[in-house]
Structure 1
Amino acid sequence: MHHDDFNFEPVRGLPAALPPDEHILWQGAPEPRRLAREALALDWIMAYFAILIVWRVGVSSTLVSFPVALTHAVPFVIAAVVTAGILYGIAYMQARSTVYTLTNKRVAMRIGAALTMTLNVPYVKIGNADLQLRRDGTGTIAFETIGDARISYLMTWPHVRPWYFRTQPALRCIPDAQRVAAIFAEAAEARVSQPRLSQAPATGGAADTIAAE
């Protein structure tokens, strides 16, 4: 029987139903293999094991025949396979529990494999955004928040831009990243430039003023 761990959500990836004037433009999640390689350093760890294997075979081959020396590397090979499996499993669980959402008003990130949380960032609270595009079409869109809001790096990892002192939330390792970045930029530009009609006290003149959101 299939069980949906997030069946309490009124809208997938969001903690509450959308208001009438808001709609979803895109939803997605990280690609697990790319997330394992970028966020969990899978490539570097496998390179470390490869060096250990070569070293073990090289040292053993000076004492025993080469076929026997190869068997001395078996424990390292097993350790490498187990480690790769664990890292991929972590990346898969992170990707499975993640839903990135772009609406016409905000970026929403439902993240966390063990402790689930939803991060909502209105476009008007985003200063700059940066796209890191890979050759396979996957990429990461990181954005810098403005204002006094502080975002915990530990609470939002791995959905952050690495090695930045001020935490930048990121849509990590998403497929078709260039198209998503275009949707992001268009929605943010439209939202930031949208005027808002607000009521001001009448002072003998016009009672309505226009303020930019």
Structure 2
Amino acid sequence: MSQNHDDFDFEPQRGLPQVLPPGERLLWQGSPRWQDLAIHAFHARKVIWYFAALGILSVVLRLAEGVPATVAIQPLLWMMAMGLVAAAMLTGLAWLSGRTSVYSITNKRLVFRVGMALPVSINLPFRQIDGASLRLFRNGSGDLPLKVCKGQRVAYLMLWPHARPFHFANPEPCLRCIPNADEVASLLAGALNGLQMPQNEITRANGLPKLKTQAVAA
């Protein structure tokens, strides 16, 4: 007889370290789309292209030296095999990261439950958020990096891959590769601005100008 097992059944509420206190309510909760994480956070596609470029360069150099084509092409085959293995491993990490990560937006804060091996919860009250931006991908998912106020800092290594890439000096927590990112950005804008939105209107919220957002096609 098979039984379903939830690795996070110890949580009093999914994605949250404790039950929300009175006066605080959950507005939205979601997880990264692992397919987009594999491409944009773990760069699995770029790894394949990297190994392919090395293999093609090796073939060209060997042909220039007069090596027979059947022999010169062998490094390309090896490189492509290595690239596919590396990409598969990165994709597996992306799947695991997407499975174990939960982002929660309440009317008072954001909560990141992240960590593939050792899950941790990171609380980010709205008073610590100085701004946000939106990077929108072609399929509608996107990144939502958050600029924190001066004096507030979260270690980049603790956040990764849930951090804005290459912002090491001033790490920015980031909702990575979330589906319907524009709707989530609108919801967050309303929450940051203290707007009271009925629960059944959250997914239909339109852009709110007070949130510093910028869409970038990618």
TM-score range, shorter chain: 0.7 to 0.9
TM norm structure 2: 0.81
In 2, Cα distance between the equivalents of 1:59 and 1:33?
35
Q: Which runs of 4+ in 1 moved over 3 A?
A: 59-72
Contact map agreement 1:60 1:72 (CA 8 A) in 2: no
Q: In the TM superposition, what are the counterparts of 1:58-73 in structure 2 within 5 Å?
A: 58-61=60-63, 63-73=66-76
Q: Which amino acid aligns with 2:186?
A: A
Question: Per-residue displacement from partner, 1:173-205 (whole Å, max 9, x unpaired)?
Answer: 1111000000110011017xxxxxxxxxxxxxx
Report the counterpart of residue 187 of structure 2 in structure 1: 183
- Relative to total residues, which structure has the larger strand share, 1 or 2? 1
Q: Distance in 1 between matches of 2:29 and 2:9?
A: 17
Q: Find the aligned partners of 1:83 and 1:176 in 2 and give their Cα distance.
A: 29
Q: Which amino acid aligns with 2:163?
A: V
Partner secondary structure for residue 133 of structure 2: strand
Question: Normalization by structure 1: what TM-score?
Answer: 0.83
- Residue range with higher mean Cα deviation, 18-27 or 63-72: 63-72
Verify: 1:93 aligned to 2:96, yes or no. yes
Q: Which of the two has higher C-alpha Rg?
A: 1
Partner of 1:149: 152
Output one character per residue of 1:101-124: Cα deviation in whole Å (capped at 9) or x when no partner.
111111111000011110111112
The number of residue pairs the alignment matches comes to 192
The letter for the 2-side match of 1:161 is: R
In 2, Cα distance between equivalents of 1:78 and 1:124: 49
Identify unmatched segments of 5+ residues in structure 1.
192-213
- Pick aligned residue for 1:118 from 103, 116, 121: 121
CA–CA distance in structure 1, aligned partners of residues 151 and 74 of structure 2: 58
Q: For 1:119, what is the secondary structure of its paired residue?
A: strand
Shift in Å, 1:126? 0.9
Name the residue aligned to 2:22. 20
Gaps of 5+ in 2: 196-218
One-letter amino acid matched to 1:170: C
